[in-house]
Amino acid sequence: MLRLPPFEYYAPKSAAQAAKMLAEFGPEALLVAGGTDVYPKMKRYQFQPKALISLKQIKRLSGILGSNSKGFVLKSGTTLTEVASHSSLSKAYPGLAKAAGVVSTPILRNMGTIGGNLCLDTRCNYYDQTHHWRKSISWCMKAPGAKGVLFKPSATRDESIPCRVAPGGDRCWAVSSTDTAPVMVALGAQVVLVSAKGERVIPAKQLYCDDGIRYVTKRPDEILTEIHLPPADGIKTTYLKLRRRGSFDFPVLGVAVALKQAEDKTITDCKIVLGGIASYPVEFEQAEKMLIGQKPTLELIEHVAQTVFGPARPMDNTDYQIYYRKRMAPVYVKRALLELTS
């Protein structure tokens, strides 16, 4: 049995109080909401916080506000089940509801939160293993040091510890495995980050970095409190997920598409974002430009879908072989586009 390491547990009643605690404890503190990813990683000694700050008691961090015409505000502590089953939200943004509804299992979706899924730690076959397994092959770039704990954002990387996926490289290639982030990026959502120093609002796209270690721009002292979605205004969305099992598994490929069409079916706007192939949700702007101003045909959609094959460069650090995952990228993009334009 894997046991949690020792820690002190705190349950603040407000986001301001939680932010103050984060500032006081510094890098020794860790936030937890649903805990569906944090607690397993603590058991594997990837996270070893001295202070665990729970957000579950903060009532203002839960709920969904808004409408189709005005846009929605999702509180970060809202469970994935609530996001997937909210009638107005699923009608306005069916792709987001689908993404939230395919995360892990029903039981874990009842616990896991939308904010937690957006900030989900990057994953890798060499990193997401037990402490003893990782110790047997020596540590990796993402979890270096004598205990194999997570790399601290403020730390300086030890050049002698390689990435197990690409030993000759100078960066970590752990994969972004959040289902909801590609949809948020495709929708042009904005996120609210709160700290003891104040509040800032950034586009969801700017929340992510192409780095397996420093995968978000959210500072360690900040809390993601809200997600703002623009008015649906005719936007069609969908999300398709590739995984070995029909439940539980993280995505080895996730495809989010959001588009708008004029009355004559001409595509006036389009976003195509892929997850599970890099350390951040990747937007394929070339494919988007090929669709905008065009009326969709099967030939056009097939041609657009094939343009993602070259830029999609998955690494050998998740389930399935690299080439299969790469070949499935245009297949899933085609399926998503056909679903929205048929």
CB 273 within 8 A of CB 336: no
Question: Would residue 35 be called left, alpha or beta, if left means φ above 0 and alpha means ψ between -120 and 50 degrees?
Answer: left
DSSP class of residue 82? H
DSSP class of residue 57? T
The pLDDT of residue 150 is 65
Dist. CA 276–CA 72, nearest whole Å: 26
The pLDDT of residue 144 is 72
DSSP code string of 7-51: -EEE--SSHHHHHHHHHHHGGGEEEESS-TTHHHHHHTTS---SE
* 3-state secondary structure (DSSP) of residue 107: helix
pTM of the model: 0.95
The pLDDT of residue 149 is 65
DSSP code string of 116-142: HHHTPPPB-TTTSS-HHHHHHH---SS
- Domains for the chain: give ranges and CATH numbers: 1-57 (3.30.43.10), 236-341 (3.30.390.50)
57 strand-pairing partners = none
32 strand-pairing partners = 54
The pLDDT of residue 168 is 84
Q: Could you list the mean pLDDT of each consecutive 10-residue stretch along the chain, which spans 342 residues?
A: 93 97 94 97 92 97 94 98 98 98 98 98 94 87 69 62 87 96 98 97 98 95 98 96 96 98 98 97 98 98 97 93 96 98 93
How many beta carbons lie within 10 A of that of residue 36, not counting itself? 22
CB 90 within 8 A of CB 104: no
